[in-house]
Amino acid sequence: MRILVVGAGATGGYFGGRLAAAGRDVTFLVRPARAAELRERGLLIVSPHGDLALTPKALTAPEIGVPCDLVILAVKGFALERAIADLAPAVGPETMILPLLNGMRHLDLLRARFGTRATIGGVCRVATMLDAEGRIVQLAKFQELLYGEMNGAPSARTDRLHAAMQGAGFEAQLSRTIAQDMWDKWILLATIGGITCLMRGTIGEIEAAPGGARFALAFLDEVVAIARAAGHPPGEEFLTATRRQIRVKGSSVASSMYRDLTQGHPVEAEQILGDLIARGRAADVPAPLLAAAFTHLSVYQQRLGLG
C-alpha cells in the first residue's frame, strides 16, 4: 500500500514516522522548507514508547507523480484548502483519504473536491508537539488511530487499511461508529479547548478558581446540546468520563489549541468552535459560553493578522 502523509508535523510526523519505521511504504508531502529540514536532520520522535530517528521519503506538491492508495491528511484546519490543492494529483479513482483533522467541517471540503466515496472517517488520539529543535515530542502514552466508512458499513478497502495499520507501533482500530467517534472527539476538544483558552489556564487552575468547575460543566452542557441537536448525542459513559476529566484537582491538562495560543501560533478557532456555534444556531440552540470563547480567540487571531 502506497501511503502519502500530508504534513510532517506533530500528528502526521508521529503516525507517519511510526508507519515508516514499521516498514510501510510512506512518503511525506511537505513544504519546501520542511522537506529540506527532513533531508538535513531527519524525522525525530521523542516518545515514552521509544525514540525514533529516520530519514523518510519526502516530496513537495510539484513532485507528485502517480496516485497513492492511501492519503493520510494531517494538517491544521486553517491549512486545509491549500493542502487539498497540493495533494490532488495523488488522488486517483481508488485512493482513500483518511483525514485526521478536528471537527467535521473538513469533510464538506474534501467531498466537494474529491467526491463522497474518496473520504473515510478518522480520529487520532495522541498528545504530541514540535519542540524548538523540530523534534516531535509525545507528551503522554496514549496513541490511537481509528478509521472506518462514514456510514459504518464494512468494506474491503477499510479491511486492507486495517491490515496495513497493524503492528506499526500504535493502537489501530477499525470502527463501525466512526462518525460518532469524530463527534465525541469534537465535544472533548471544544470543551477543553474552549475553557482553557477562555480562562487562560489548565484544567487544574480552572477547577481551583471560584466557580471554575461550574463554568467547565456549563460549557460542556452547551457543546453536548449542539451535538444532540445535530443527531450525535454522546453516550453516558463518555459524558461521565468527560465531566470527571474537566474537574480534576491539580490537573496540568490543557488543549493543543491552548498550547498554540500561549506560544503565539494560529489556532483552529473556526474549525473547533466557530463551526460548532454555527450548527447550534441552525438548530436554535443557544451557546453563550462557546460564543464568548470564540470571540476571545477571534480577537487573538486578528492580532496575528489572521482575522
Q: Do the domains 181-303 and 2-176 match in fold?
A: no
Question: Over its length of 307 residues, how does the chain's per-residue pLDDT go in tens digits?
Answer: 999 999 999 999 999 999 999 999 999 999 999 999 898 999 999 999 999 999 999 999 999 989 999 999 999 999 999 999 999 999 999 999 999 999 999 999 999 999 999 999 999 999 999 998 889 999 999 999 999 999 999 999 999 999 999 999 999 999 999 999 999 999 999 999 999 999 999 999 999 999 999 999 999 999 999 999 999 999 999 999 999 999 999 999 999 899 999 999 999 999 999 999 999 999 999 999 999 999 999 999 999 987 6
CATH of domain 2-176: 3.40.50.720
Q: Residue 305 CB: number of other CB atoms within 10 A?
A: 7
C-alpha distances in Å from residue 34, one per residue of 13, 44, 63, 164, 239 = 11, 13, 14, 26, 39
Residue that has been written with the C-alpha cell 487520532 in this structure: 124
Residue extents of the structural domains in the chain: 2-176, 181-303
**Domain 181-303: CATH superfamily, name plus number:** N-(1-d-carboxylethyl)-l-norvaline Dehydrogenase; domain 2 (1.10.1040.10)
Beta strands 121-130 and 96-99 are unpaired
- Which of 57, 76, 141, 185 is labelled catalytic? 185
pLDDT confidence of residue 133 = 87
Structure confidence at residue 132 (pLDDT): 87
141 is annotated as an active-site residue: no
Write the single-letter amino acid at 52: L
- Given this model, what pLDDT does residue 183 score? 98
287 grid coordinates: 451557546
Residue 68 phi/psi, 5° resolution?
-105, 165
- Single pTM value for the model: 0.94
